[in-house]
Amino acid sequence: MLRPNDIVAVALSGGKDSVTLLRILWKLERRFPLARLIALTVDEGISGYRSEAISMSKEVCDQLRIEHVVVSFDQLFGITMDDVAGRQNELQPCSYCGVLRRKALNEGARRVGATKLATAHNLDDEAQTALLNVMHGDVERILQDSQTNTKAPASFIPRIKPLAEVPERETALYAYASAAPFQTIPCPHGHNALRGDIRVMLNRLELKHRGIKHTISRSIERLSETAEGTTRRRAFQACKLCSDPTPNDICEACLMLRTFKAEAGAMYRPVL
C-alpha cells in the first residue's frame, strides 16, 4: 500500500478507528525517514458534534507532533451538514455527507501534496458498505468501492484502507489500550441511516456465524475480480463542472450541490 517516500494524508475524524490508524502509521513512519504523515480532518458543519472531534484530533496530533489540516464543507462548498439536515431532502443526510466528504478529502489531500490518502475503514465498515450497495442495487458502486479496483483515475489521490480486514472490536480495543483521546458521542444526523440497521444485523449474525463479515467483504472482492474480465467498466472523464474524474458528465457531488443550491435559490460555484 505504501512506498518509503510517500506523503500520506490520514483522514482523521477523531473517532476510535481514525485515531488508531494514525497511531499505527505514526509508529511505522518513524522507520521511514523520507515518508511524511499529515492528518486531515473534514469539518462537515455539525453543531455539538464536530467541534469536539476537531479538538480531540488536534490533541492527538499535538501529542504525536503530526501536522493537522482541517477542511470544511462550508469553506469548500458553501453549505454545512446542519443546512442539509434542516431541509426536506429526497436522500438521508448521510448520503450527502458521504459523497461530499469523499470530495473534501480528495481536495484536502491534493492541497497538502499527498501521494496517498489513508482512511480508517475497518472490516465492519467494508461489510456494511457491501450490503448497502447490494440493497441499493448499486452495481457500479460495488465494483468501484472494491479494494481490488485498480481503475481509479490518476487525478484521484490513491486511497488505501489499511484496517479493511480488522474488525471494529479490535480497532476499539487498540484505541482504549493506547489511552488516546477519541470521540464517543454519535452524530445527531445519523440516527435514520440504513447503515445503522445493517450494523446491528451483521453484529447479530457474526455472533452466530463467526467470520461472516470477512466472508461478505471477500465476496465483494471476488465479485469485482470476476467482473473485471466480463464487464466493461465505464471510463472516467473530467466532470463538466469541477473537473474531478467521474464516469458521468457531472460528478455526484456537483449534482447534489447544484440541486441543493438551486432549491435554496442560489448559484452553485464548484471548487476548481
Contact positions toward ligand SF4, by CB under 6 A?
44, 81, 93-94, 97-98, 187, 189-190, 193
State the binding partner of 189 from ligand SF4, Zn ion, none, CB within 5 to 8 A by kind.
Answer: ligand SF4
Dihedral (CA of 253, 255, 261, 263) sign: negative
Cβ nearer to Zn ion, comparing 19 with 251:
251
Cβ nearer to ligand SF4, comparing 97 with 166:
97
Cβ nearer to ligand SF4, comparing 194 with 238:
194
Cβ nearer to ligand SF4, comparing 37 with 79:
79
How buried is 243 (Cβ within 10 angstroms: 0-12 exposed, 13-18 middle, 19+ buried)? middle
Does 242 sit near Zn ion (CB under 5 A)? Answer: yes
Does 202 sit near Zn ion (CB under 5 A)? Answer: no
Does 241 sit near Zn ion (CB under 5 A)? Answer: yes
State the binding partner of 54 from ligand SF4, Zn ion, none, CB within 5 to 8 A by kind.
Answer: none
State the binding partner of 108 from Zn ion, ligand SF4, none, CB within 5 to 8 A by kind.
Answer: none
Dihedral angle of Cα 128, 74, 76, 144, to the nearest 10 degrees: 10
Query: Which letter does DSSP use for residue 204 in this model?
Result: H
* Cell (9 digits) for 105: 478529502
- Asked if residue 131 lies in contact with residue 124, where contact means CB atoms within 8 angstroms, the answer is no
Does 239 sit near Zn ion (CB under 5 A)? Answer: yes
Question: Quick one: which segment of 8-16, 45-53, 128-136, 238-246 binds Zn ion (CB under 5 A)?
Answer: 238-246
Give the contacts of 216 (CB within 8 A, at least 6 positions apart): 127, 130, 131, 202
Which residue number is nearest to ligand SF4 in terms of Cβ?
Answer: 190
Distance CA 30, CA 44 (A): 31
Give the contacts of 70 (CB within 8 A, at least 6 positions apart): 40, 41, 42, 43, 54
- Asked if residue 23 lies in contact with residue 8, where contact means CB atoms within 8 angstroms, the answer is no
State the binding partner of 254 from ligand SF4, Zn ion, none, CB within 5 to 8 A by kind.
Answer: Zn ion
Residue 214 beta carbon to ligand SF4: minimum distance, rounded to whole angstroms: 24
State the binding partner of 97 from Zn ion, ligand SF4, none, CB within 5 to 8 A by kind.
Answer: ligand SF4
- Asked if residue 122 lies in contact with residue 83, where contact means CB atoms within 8 angstroms, the answer is no
Give the interface with Zn ion as residue ranges (CB under 5 A).
Answer: 239, 241-242, 244, 251, 254
